[in-house]
Amino acid sequence: MVHLEIDEKIAGMQNNLKNIANAIFRPISRKYDEAEHDYPEELDMFRKVATLSQPKKKSGEKETRKELKQKSNHKGNNIGTNMRLIFSTEMMCWGDAALLLSLPNAGLGNAALLAIANDEQIARFGHKWIAMAITEPQSGSDSGSISTTAELDGNEWVLNGEKIFVTCADRCDAVVVWATIDKSAGKAGVKSFIVEKGTPGFKLEKLEHKLGIRASDTGTFLLKDCRIPKENILGDPRIAKNTEGFKGAMKTFDNTRPLVAAMANGIAAAALDFLKEQLNEKGVELNYKNNVHNVSSVEKEYYRMEAELEAMRMLTWRAAWMADTKRANNVEASMAKAKSGRMATLITQKCCDILGPLGFSRKYLAEKWMRDSKIMDIFEGTGQIQHLIVARNVLNLSSSELK
Partner 1 sequence: MLDFSFSKEQKMIKTEFARLVKDLVADNAHEMDECGTINPEIVQTTWEMGASISGVPEKYGGYGAKSSPIENCIILEELAYGDMGYAIQASLPSLFIQPLLLFGTRRQQEKYLPIYCSERFTACSLAFNEPWFGFDANELRTSAVRKNGEYILNGKKCFVPLAEEASHFIIAANLDGINQLFILEKGNEGIEISAREKNLGLYGLATNEMQLADCRIPVVDRIGEDNGCDFARFLQGTRIGLCAMAVGICRATLDFVKRYAKERIQFGEPIAHRQSIAFMIAEMSYEVDAMRLLNWKAASLLEIGKDAARDSYLSKLFAGEKAMKICDFGVQILGGHGYIREYPVERYYRNSRGISILEGMATV
Tell me how far, at minimum, the Cβ of 402 lies from partner 1, in Å. Answer: 5
- Residue 10 vs 284, nearer CB to partner 1: 10
- Residue 87 vs 157, nearer CB to partner 1: 87
Q: Does 123 bind partner 1 (CB under 8 A)?
A: no
> Quick one: which of 114, 335, 351, 354 contacts partner 1 (CB under 8 A)?
335
- Residue 24 vs 338, nearer CB to partner 1: 338
- Residue 29 vs 255, nearer CB to partner 1: 255
> Quick one: which of 254, 301, 308, 367 contacts partner 1 (CB under 8 A)?
308
Q: Does 322 bind partner 1 (CB under 8 A)?
A: yes
Residues 61-100 binding partner 1 (CB under 8 A) are 75-79, 83
Question: Going by C-beta distance under 8 Å and a sequence separation of 6 or more, which residues neighbour residue 172?
Answer: 107, 109, 128, 129, 130, 131, 197
DSSP state letters, 92-152: HHHHHHHHHHT-TT--HHHHHHHHH--HHHHHHHTTS-EEEE--BTTBSS-GGG---EEEE
Tell me how far, at minimum, the Cβ of 296 lies from partner 1, in Å. Answer: 14
Do 220 and 204 meet the contact criterion of CB atoms below 8 Å apart? yes
Residues 232-291 binding partner 1 (CB under 8 A) are 288-291
| Site stretch for partner 1 (CB under 8 A), options 130-138, 149-157, 309-317, 349-357 | 309-317
> Quick one: which of 63, 236, 277, 310 contacts partner 1 (CB under 8 A)?
310
Tell me how far, at minimum, the Cβ of 292 lies from partner 1, in Å. Answer: 6
Q: Does 376 bind partner 1 (CB under 8 A)?
A: no
Q: Does 388 bind partner 1 (CB under 8 A)?
A: yes
> 3-class DSSP state for residue 70?
helix
- Active-site positions read 380
CA dist 149 and 189 (Å) reads 10
Q: What are phi and psi of 284, to 5 degrees?
A: -85, 125
DSSP state letters, 225-284: EEEEEGGGEES--SPPSSSHHHHHHHTHHHHHHHHHHHHHHHHHHHHHHHHHHHHHHTT-
In 3D space, the residue among 223, 333, 378, 321 whose CA is nearest the CA of residue 6 turns out to be 321
Q: Does 152 bind partner 1 (CB under 8 A)?
A: no
Tell me how far, at minimum, the Cβ of 387 lies from partner 1, in Å. Answer: 4
Q: Indicate the pairing of strand 190-196 with strand 202-207.
A: unpaired
- Residue 86 vs 188, nearer CB to partner 1: 86
Q: Does 33 bind partner 1 (CB under 8 A)?
A: no
The distance from CA 325 to its chain's CA centroid, rounded to whole angstroms, is 20
Tell me how far, at minimum, the Cβ of 304 lies from partner 1, in Å. Answer: 6
C-alpha dihedral sign at 129, 130, 135, 140: negative
Q: Does 380 bind partner 1 (CB under 8 A)?
A: no
Q: Indicate the pairing of strand 174-180 with strand 130-133.
A: parallel
Question: Going by C-beta distance under 8 Å and a sequence separation of 6 or more, which residues neighbour residue 102?
Answer: 32, 39, 40, 43, 168, 171, 215, 216, 217
Tell me how far, at minimum, the Cβ of 395 lies from partner 1, in Å. Answer: 5
CA dist 341 and 149 (Å) reads 32
Binding mask 1-20 for partner 1 (x = CB under 8 A): xxxxxxx--x----------
CA dist 374 and 93 (Å) reads 13
| Site stretch for partner 1 (CB under 8 A), options 61-69, 154-162, 256-264, 331-339 | 331-339
Tell me how far, at minimum, the Cβ of 25 lies from partner 1, in Å. Answer: 26
Q: Does 293 bind partner 1 (CB under 8 A)?
A: yes
- Residue 274 vs 317, nearer CB to partner 1: 317
Tell me how far, at minimum, the Cβ of 277 lies from partner 1, in Å. Answer: 18
Cα dihedral angle (69, 71, 77, 78), rounded to 10 degrees?
-130
Contacts with partner 1, residue ranges (CB under 8 A): 1-7, 10, 75-79, 83, 288-294, 303-304, 306-308, 310-312, 314-315, 317-318, 321-322, 325, 332, 335, 338-339, 384, 386-388, 390-392, 394-395, 397, 401-403
